[in-house]
Amino acid sequence: MSKSADLRQKDVAGIKAEVKDLQKAHFGLRMQKATQQLTNTGTLRVTRRDIARAKTILAQKQAESKAAK
């Protein structure tokens, strides 16, 4: 299953937690890059896109819940 399909199965609180975890991971990777410890800089791009994907799905779910009310 793809990452977006996994995220779509979660509720809003679960997605918010996922975004928070991804942002922490991205911060750690940025610090590793700054201290020249990061060998695979491509992981920065992957985590940045994962954050964007999760935020997009979160916005969609929040819009759906507002429309349902």
* All domains in the chain, ordered by first residue: 3-64 (1.10.287.310)
Please choose, from the candidates 27, 19, 11, 2, the residue with its C-alpha nearest in 3D space to the C-alpha of residue 54. 19
User: What distance in Å separates the CA atoms of residue 54 and residue 41, rounded to the nearest whole number?
Assistant: 21
CA separation, residue 41 to residues 6, 17, 49 (Å): 25, 24, 14
Residue with tokens 């920065």: 44
Model confidence pTM above 0.85: yes
Residue 61's contacts (CB-CB under 8 Å, 6 or more residues apart) are 11, 12, 15
Over the stretch 10-41, which tens digit does the pLDDT of each residue have? 999 999 999 999 999 999 999 999 999 999 99
6/68: higher pLDDT: 6
